């Protein structure tokens, strides 16, 4: 089935990472005709919370596409709301491209990018993400295993490399909208709209996670909008470039850090629209004076 305004091969080169540089092959275009099982709402696709659906996902679904080992550029043939009954686990070398359709990941589990590289998430709406109890989930065509309870993050990066999250709309997750931990690096979050959340972006899990010192993350050209509270982002260890973002509302602070991260805040616009938004930058409690430097 064809789709109007299909991107040209040049657009694929612009959007997708160069697979010729990583593994010598171009990504195959993989179009999703259906996402999950149909419900009464023709736009809504609720994944069945059954052993078979999670262990042997059906061809044509997003979960089936994401466990393939080959490079894939995944597009959608129609508008759909995808409700995940368990977190979406993936293999590397994947582009999820929502252009040309409205694609929502909503009202269920979120997306997990764990120990894989070369992933692009583009033009999705991720919202109302909730924890799930865990269970047996397939993560590749030749392996499945037990997953513990998920936290309810919108997008979780765990030891991931070379990840681009671009033109995504994110709101209302139980935990973070985007968490990057366990040494995730080579990450760019750009042109994304964030609203209605407390702990927005977390880079670095804890003060003891010293392996996060290799993190390199860029946060660029994003809009931090209505009813946000804090962590835009919250950084530990690592190197972070926060550049050309628009902050139009926050209740506690915009950018925070501890455990001696290097944060370059450059060309951002901050509009404090309430009397409680007293801090643009925040040094977390117990940060030694020797680690505090002025913000440029």
Which CATH number characterizes residue 200's domain? 2.160.20.10
Record the pTM.
0.83
pLDDT tens track for 13-43: 454 444 444 555 677 777 765 544 333 333 4
Q: Is residue 4 part of a domain?
A: no
Q: Is 231 a catalytic residue?
A: yes
Strands across the sheet containing 155-158: 88-89, 111-114, 155-158, 178-181, 201-203, 234-236, 255-258, 281-283
Q: Is residue 40 part of a domain?
A: yes
Q: Is residue 2 part of a domain?
A: no
Does residue 288 register a pLDDT over 90? no
Give the mean model confidence (pLDDT) for residues 269-291.
Answer: 67
pLDDT tens track for 101-121: 999 999 999 999 999 999 999
Residues β-bridged to residue 82:
45, 105
The predicted pLDDT at position 281 comes to 74
The predicted pLDDT at position 30 comes to 72
The predicted pLDDT at position 21 comes to 44
Per-residue tokens: 145 = 């295993």
The predicted pLDDT at position 280 comes to 76
Q: Which of 63, 138, 147, 231 is catalytic?
A: 231
Does residue 96 register a pLDDT over 90? yes
Give the mean model confidence (pLDDT) for residues 189-217.
Answer: 93
The predicted pLDDT at position 46 comes to 59
In the chain, % of residues over pLDDT 70: 78
The predicted pLDDT at position 32 comes to 66
Does residue 250 register a pLDDT over 60? yes
Q: Is residue 236 part of a domain?
A: yes
Give the mean model confidence (pLDDT) for residues 135-163.
Answer: 95
Per-residue tokens: 286 = 């117990």
**Which of 22-26, 153-157, 267-271, 273-277 has the weakest average pLDDT?**
22-26
Longest pairwise C-alpha distance within the chain: 61
If one counts the domains in the chain, the total is 1
Mean pLDDT of the chain: 83
Q: Is residue 54 part of a domain?
A: yes
Domain that holds residue 250: 9-291
In the chain, % of residues over pLDDT 90: 62
Does residue 257 register a pLDDT over 70? yes
The predicted pLDDT at position 207 comes to 87
Q: At 8, is the pLDDT very low, low, confident or very high (cuts 50, 70, 90)?
A: very low
Give the mean model confidence (pLDDT) for residues 67-76.
Answer: 95
Q: Is residue 229 part of a domain?
A: yes
The predicted pLDDT at position 39 comes to 32
Distance in Å from the first CA to the final CA of the chain:
52
Q: At 51, is the pLDDT very low, low, confident or very high (cuts 50, 70, 90)?
A: low
The predicted pLDDT at position 1 comes to 32
């Amino acid at each position: 089935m064809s789709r109007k305004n299909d991107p040209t091969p040049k657009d694929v080169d612009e959007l997708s990472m160069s697979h010729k540089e990583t593994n010598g092959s171009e990504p195959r275009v993989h179009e999703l005709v259906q996402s999950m099982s149909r419900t009464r709402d023709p736009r809504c696709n609720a994944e069945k919370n059954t052993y078979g659906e999670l262990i042997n996902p059906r061809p044509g679904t997003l979960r089936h596409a994401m466990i393939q080992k080959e490079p894939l550029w995944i597009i959608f043939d129609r508008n759909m709301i995808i409700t995940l009954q368990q977190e979406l686990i993936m293999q590397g070398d994947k582009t999820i491209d929502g252009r040309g359709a409205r694609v929502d990941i909503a009202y269920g589990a979120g997306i997990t990018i764990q120990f894989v590289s070369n992933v692009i998430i583009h033009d999705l709406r991720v919202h109302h993400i909730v924890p799930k109890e865990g269970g047996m989930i397939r993560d590749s065509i030749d392996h499945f295993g037990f997953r513990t309870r998920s936290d309810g993050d919108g997008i979780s990066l765990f030891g991931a490399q070379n990840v681009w999250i671009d033109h995504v709309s994110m709101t209302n997750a139980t935990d973070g909208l985007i968490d990057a931990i366990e040494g995730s690096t080579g990450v760019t979050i750009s042109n994304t709209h964030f609203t209605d959340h407390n702990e927005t972006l977390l880079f670095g899990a804890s003060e003891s996670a010293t392996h996060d010192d290799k993190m390199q993350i860029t946060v660029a050209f994003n809009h931090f909008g209505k009813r946000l509270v804090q962590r835009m982002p919250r950084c530990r260890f690592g190197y972070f470039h926060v550049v050309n973002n628009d902050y139009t509302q926050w209740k506690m602070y915009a950018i925070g850090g501890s455990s001696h991260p290097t944060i370059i805040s450059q060309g951002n616009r901050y509009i404090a629209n309430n009397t409680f938004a007293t801090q643009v930058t925040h040094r977390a409690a117990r940060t030694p004076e020797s680690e505090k430097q002025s913000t440029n």
